[in-house]
Amino acid sequence: MESNLQVLLLHNQEKYLDGTADLINTYWSRSKAARLWTLEKSCDKLPCSIILVLTENGKEEVIGHSRVVEAQGADNACYVETVVVKSDLRGRGFGRRLMEESEKFASCKGYKQMFLNTIDKEKFYSHLGYTESHPVITLGANASKLPQHMIDKLTQTTTRCTPSLPPPTATALPPPSNTVGAPPHPNPNDFTITTAAPPPPPPLPPTSKKCQPTEGCNTHVMELCCDPSKVTWMRKDLIPKVSS
């Protein structure tokens, strides 16, 4: 059986857009239009989608994908997401090759750290040199539109945010009476009239399922994605490109 593996930048080979969208949607279900809209943002800078195309006996197929985006919350950092290899081809080194090419691309662009998160592949990424780390955020193309102080604030915000409640409204009490017996008629000026806060809105009706994966997608992955406590963040220092 003759086979050939190509590593391509998706925006340079748009004929593979549909195949890439179908591959990703097998594991993370999303509408085809929305998936294509995201993939079409790939460019020579970031974000960039990297794909593996395998040719066997004259038939081409997209078998792997990763997306490298800029990360905020660490210096010279990028984030790799939507890493997927076709399930029946795993164990043949394609995942390692995909990550190596993603790291090489990011390093050539001047990035020194690569972050990712995973729900069940810690061992795989550990073998590639990744270690557990703090989370980062990605703002995509919107990062350039935000002032630096706002980005700094976002990156310093913890993942668990407790909204601050307003201080209780103080209600003035009437001054104590100096006479014994029935109190005098109250003077309206001695009181502060407060308006009661409106009642909170009724809770949303409960849903039968928080996650409803569509037919054909990886239900195990979908269920884990619904539990943030299952997510592990990891990072790796990238080897800088040596000029020849």
Copy the structure tokens of residue 150: 């706002």
Q: Which residues contact 126 (CB under 8 A, 6 or more apart)?
A: 234
DSSP 194-235: -PPPPPPPPPPPPPS-S--PPTTS-HHHHHHHT-GGG-EEEE
Residue 232 and residue 119 in contact, taking contact as beta carbons nearer than 8 Å: yes
Superfamily of domain 3-157+215-237: Gcn5-related N-acetyltransferase (GNAT) (3.40.630.30)
Residue 77 and residue 107 in contact, taking contact as beta carbons nearer than 8 Å: no
pLDDT for 28-64, tens place per residue? 999 999 999 999 999 999 999 999 999 998 899 999 9
Copy the structure tokens of residue 148: 């630096």
Q: How confident is the model at residue 147, as a pLDDT?
A: 63
Q: Which residues contact 175 (CB under 8 A, 6 or more apart)?
A: 190
Q: How confident is the model at residue 94, as a pLDDT?
A: 98
Per-residue pLDDT band for 10 (boundaries 50, 70, 90) equals very high
Query: How would you class 48 by CB atoms within 10 Å of its CB: exposed for 0-12, middle for 13-18, buried for 19 or more?
Result: buried
pLDDT for 112-125, tens place per residue? 999 999 999 999 99
pTM above 0.85, yes or no: no
Domain coordinates of the chain in residue numbers?
A: 3-157+215-237
